[in-house]
């Protein structure tokens, strides 16, 4: 219910004390309110004139209003703190995201990450608001009321005291029973609820198979199964609430009957009896409120846990080992027996990779799918960290990994589908260098072959592109990435990961022509299974099952019957037309 880390939030203790104080005052107003109302009723009961109840009624009104004003005050004074705390949390989350980079997203999933930063933090906010105030309420209010009742009539107080743990006990027992049953049902239940979205997404396929009309019946019957499962779970889950409801309501009834008998025996007067009766529901109110918000708090607790877990993920350290770097034709990068194992894998994805590349070499990385080409590119880009430090060196300096800020500021990464931001075309092109003069942007667009397309666009460079805006074809997206690269001449390391694999052949041919000038005077790592690119490379790394099985210039490799010649034969095995 409560995450211990909650109490480590800076500045939370003074707030908790303040809430406690307000709750205490509120509990007193509850007692006064009950007392005053009872006095007024008793006066009337004794058939005294209306004038006699003016004072007690006034006290009742004031204490009643105070009680509810304090609720507002509690919320209002606590909220700014909660808002600030969760705001900071969101900021820290984003900073973490930036520091950990794509590897974090890969682990948690894009959707989860966004949901966590948006709804997750909102849930944490609700949780913080609820948990502190409700717990204070539960910890203070009933006992003040009980103490007051005990002063008047110890028997009823004793009954109320004893029934309290019984209620909690029953709630826990029934709650646990419900939970274990619910857990058992959860797997099947989850599947049923996913089934609907699953079906909608597969609608195209169902239509192709001519089953789509008939499937409506299936949707209905699966949903009915879902209903039955849900009801079975709910029936048990609600039993816990029922127990709470049952005991508290019945307790009030029992107290009323007790008081009735005591009054008949003359052991108590009407005024204290009526006060006790009025207070009895308020005695149980905090625990009922707590139970009714149980699910919101549970969700909030899970959200808080997820957020804190991300915040506590260790970051890659030593990102500034490499003090300075400007890539020249005498610079060099060396991999010496580098291995990489993913966190949850037992086999290394890359093992014992060694190569030595220098200056403005163009390095092709080829291999079947799953051979580790992308992983190697990610390792070179510094998005992944090798198993052991010190196996990679740049210009002779041994480095723990390539997640060096200076190295990354020297590189450009172009994947199969370059990401286009939801922004104007200009902002997308100038992404690495936001403040670039118009002339330079136009020149870069010209080089990337974008000029004609831009001329067709309604607002030229200021047209919005990216998700939900104007569609950009795969070829144009690549050209935008090229323009980015042309624009930033200081970045001399180019990393390509299958940039043309999914393009149609005509687009690919045209794109290639514009891409070639970019490769000049740069260090290029080019992972691809499009064979024609090999003709532009002056060094080739052949990957197979995470190992570097062959390396050399294309001519050397073609010269003997090794993995390179085999791979080429398999990949290019078109049945010849000529």
Partner 1 sequence: MHSIKQTFAHDTWVMPYLRKYKWLLVLVLFLGMMTFLSAAALMFNSGYLISEAARRPGNIIYIYVPVVLARAFGIARPVFRYSERLTSHNWVLRIVSDFRKKLYQAVEAKASAIKQTHQTGDILSILADDIDHIENLYLRTVFPIVIGWLLYLFIIIGVGVFSWPVALLMALILAMIVLVMPLLSVAVNGTREFKQKQIQSNFYTSLTDEVLGLTDWVISGRYNDFMKLQNKPIDEIATLRRKDHFFQWWRGFGVQFFFLLAVLTLLIWSGTFFTASKGMANWIAAFALTLFPIVEPFLEVSQGASEWPVYRQSIERVNQLSNDQPQTVAQTTLTEPVSDLNVNHVTFHYPDDDKIILKDVSLNIHRGEKIALLGPSGTGKSTLLKLLLGDQKPTVGIVTINGTPVSELQQQRAQLFGVLDQQPYLFDTSVMNNIRLGNLNATDDQVKAAVAAVELKSLIESLPDGYDTEVQESGTRFSGGERQRLSLARILLQDAPIIVLDEPTVSLDPITERQLLDTVFKVLHDKTIIWVTHHLAGIDHVDQVRFLEDGVFDMQGTPRALYRDEPRFRKLYELDTGKRS
Give the footprint of partner 1 on residues 489-528 (CB under 8 A).
Answer: 502-509, 512
Report the nearest approach of partner 1 to the CB of residue 406 (Å): 10
Report the nearest approach of partner 1 to the CB of residue 59 (Å): 13
Task: Specify whether the CB–CB gap between 450 and 476 falls below 8 A.
Answer: yes
Q: Helix, strand or coil for residue 208?
A: helix
Report the nearest approach of partner 1 to the CB of residue 124 (Å): 13
Q: Helix, strand or coil for residue 319?
A: coil
Q: Which of 142, 175, 449, 474 binds partner 1 (CB under 8 A)?
A: 474
Binding mask 207-236 for partner 1 (x = CB under 8 A): xxxxxxx-xxx-xx--xx-xx--xx--xx-
Binding mask 62-91 for partner 1 (x = CB under 8 A): --xx--xx-xx--xx--x---x---x--xx
Report the nearest approach of partner 1 to the CB of residue 438 (Å): 20
Of 158, 146, 161, 149, give the one whose Cα is nearest residue 268. 149
Q: Which of 2, 17, 94, 176 binds partner 1 (CB under 8 A)?
A: 94
CA distance linking residue 334 with residue 327, whole number of Å: 14
Site for partner 1 in 312-371 (CB under 8 A): 368-369
Site for partner 1 in 104-123 (CB under 8 A): 105, 110, 113-114, 117-118
Q: What is the DSSP letter of 519?
A: H
Q: Per the structure block, which two tokens stand in for 351?
A: 């093992």
CA distance linking residue 55 with residue 40, whole number of Å: 8
Kindly tell me which of 212 and 351 has the beta carbon lying closer to partner 1.
Answer: 212
Q: Which residues pair with 358 in a beta bridge?
A: 332
Binding mask 404-423 for partner 1 (x = CB under 8 A): -x--xx-xxx-x---x-xxx
Report the nearest approach of partner 1 to the CB of residue 219 (Å): 5
CA distance linking residue 357 with residue 375, whole number of Å: 18
Angle in degrees, 0-180, between the axes of helices 121-152 and 12-45, rounded to the nearest 10: 40
Kindly tell me which of 7 and 421 has the beta carbon lying closer to partner 1.
Answer: 421
CA distance linking residue 273 with residue 256, whole number of Å: 8
Report the nearest approach of partner 1 to the CB of residue 308 (Å): 19
Q: Helix, strand or coil for residue 498?
A: coil
Q: Which of 431, 486, 496, 526 binds partner 1 (CB under 8 A)?
A: 431
Report the nearest approach of partner 1 to the CB of residue 271 (Å): 9
Report the nearest approach of partner 1 to the CB of residue 352 (Å): 24
CA-CA-CA-CA torsion for 458, 462, 468, 474, nearest 10 degrees? Answer: 80
Q: Which span sits near partner 1 by CB under 8 A: 134-142, 173-181, 307-315, 430-438?
A: 430-438
Residues 6+ apart with CB under 8 A from 498: 373, 374, 415, 416, 527, 528, 529, 530
Kindly tell me which of 216 and 311 has the beta carbon lying closer to partner 1.
Answer: 216
Residues 6+ apart with CB under 8 A from 91: none
Site for partner 1 in 157-216 (CB under 8 A): 191, 194-213, 215-216
Q: Per the structure block, which two tokens stand in for 455?
A: 């001329």
Report the nearest approach of partner 1 to the CB of residue 133 (Å): 12
102 CB burial (10 A radius; 0-12, 13-18, 19+): middle
Q: Which of 24, 236, 464, 534 binds partner 1 (CB under 8 A)?
A: 534
Question: How many other CB atoms sit within 10 Å of the CB of residue 452?
Answer: 9
Q: Which span sits near partner 1 by CB under 8 A: 14-22, 300-308, 393-401, 465-473?
A: 465-473
Binding mask 542-561 for partner 1 (x = CB under 8 A): --------------------
Site for partner 1 in 269-298 (CB under 8 A): 269-270, 273-274, 277-278, 281
Q: How far is CA 193 from the centre of its chain?
A: 21
What element of type H or E holds 172?
helix 154-201
Kindly tell me which of 79 and 154 has the beta carbon lying closer to partner 1.
Answer: 79
First to last CA, the chain: 74
Site for partner 1 in 235-274 (CB under 8 A): 235, 238-239, 241-242, 245-246, 249-250, 252-254, 256-257, 259-261, 263-264, 266, 269-270, 273-274
Report the nearest approach of partner 1 to the CB of residue 152 (Å): 13
Binding mask 10-49 for partner 1 (x = CB under 8 A): ---------------------------x--xx--xxxx--
Task: Specify whether the CB–CB gap between 526 and 533 falls below 8 A.
Answer: yes
Residues 6+ apart with CB under 8 A from 92: 311
């Amino acid at each position: 219910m409560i995450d211990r880390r909650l109490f480590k939030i800076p500045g939370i203790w003074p707030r908790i004390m303040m809430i406690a104080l307000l709750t205490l005052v509120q509990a007193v107003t509850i007692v006064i309110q009950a007392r005053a109302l009872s006095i007024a009723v008793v006066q009337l009961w004794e058939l005294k004139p209306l004038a006699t109840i003016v004072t007690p009624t006034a006290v009742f009104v004031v204490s009643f209003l105070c009680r509810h004003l304090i609720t507002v005050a509690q919320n209002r004074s606590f909220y700014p703190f909660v808002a600030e705390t969760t705001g900071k949390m969101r900021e820290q989350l984003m900073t973490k995201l930036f520091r950990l980079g794509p590897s974090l997203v890969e682990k948690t999933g894009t959707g989860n990450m966004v949901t966590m930063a948006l709804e997750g933090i909102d849930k944490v906010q609700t949780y913080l608001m609820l948990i502190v105030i409700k717990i204070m309420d539960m910890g203070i209010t009933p006992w003040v009321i009980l103490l007051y009742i005990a002063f008047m009539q110890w028997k009823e107080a004793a009954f109320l005291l004893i029934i309290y743990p019984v209620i909690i006990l029953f709630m826990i027992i029934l709650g646990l029973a419900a939970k274990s049953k619910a857990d058992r049902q959860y797997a099947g239940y989850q599947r049923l609820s996913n089934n609907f979205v699953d079906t909608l997404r597969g609608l195209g396929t169902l239509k192709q198979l001519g089953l789509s009309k008939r499937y409506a019946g299936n949707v209905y019957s699966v949903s009915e199964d879902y209903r039955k499962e849900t009801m079975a779970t709910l029936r048990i889950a609600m039993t816990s609430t029922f127990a709470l409801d049952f005991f508290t309501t019945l307790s009030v009834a029992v107290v009323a009957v007790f008081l009735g008998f005591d009054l008949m025996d003359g052991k108590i007067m009407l005024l204290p009896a009526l006060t006790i009766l009025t207070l009895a529901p308020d005695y149980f109110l905090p625990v009922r409120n707590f139970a009714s918000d149980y699910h919101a708090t549970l969700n909030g607790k899970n959200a808080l846990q997820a957020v804190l877990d991300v915040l506590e993920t260790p970051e890659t350290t030593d990102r500034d080992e490499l003090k300075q770097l400007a890539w020249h034709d005498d610079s060099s990068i060396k991999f010496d027996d580098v291995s990489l194992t993913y966190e949850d894998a037992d086999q290394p994805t890359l093992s014992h990779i060694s190569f030595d590349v220098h200056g403005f070499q163009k390095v092709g990385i080829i291999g079947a799918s799953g051979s580790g080409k992308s992983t190697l590119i990610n390792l070179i880009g510094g998005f992944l960290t090798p198993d052991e430090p010190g196996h990679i060196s740049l210009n002779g300096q041994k480095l723990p990994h390539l997640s060096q800020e200076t190295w990354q500021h020297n590189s450009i990464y172009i994947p199969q589908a370059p990401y286009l931001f939801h922004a104007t075309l200009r902002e997308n092109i100038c992404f690495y260098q936001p403040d670039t003069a118009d002339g330079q942007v136009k020149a870069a667009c010209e080089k990337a072959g974008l000029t004609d397309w831009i001329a067709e666009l309604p607002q030229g460079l200021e047209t919005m592109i990216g998700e939900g805006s104007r569609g950009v074809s795969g070829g144009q997206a690549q050209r935008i990435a090229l323009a980015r690269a042309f624009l930033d001449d200081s970045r001399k390391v180019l990393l390509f990961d299958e940039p043309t694999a999914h393009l149609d052949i005509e687009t690919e041919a045209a794109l290639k022509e514009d891409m070639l000038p970019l490769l000049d005077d740069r260090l290029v790592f080019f992972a691809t299974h499009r064979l024609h690119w090999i003709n532009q490379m002056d060094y080739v790394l052949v990957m197979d099952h995470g190992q570097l099985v062959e390396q050399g210039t294309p001519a050397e490799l073609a010269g003997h019957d090794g993995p390179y010649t085999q791979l080429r034969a398999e990949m290019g095995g078109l049945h010849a037309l000529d």
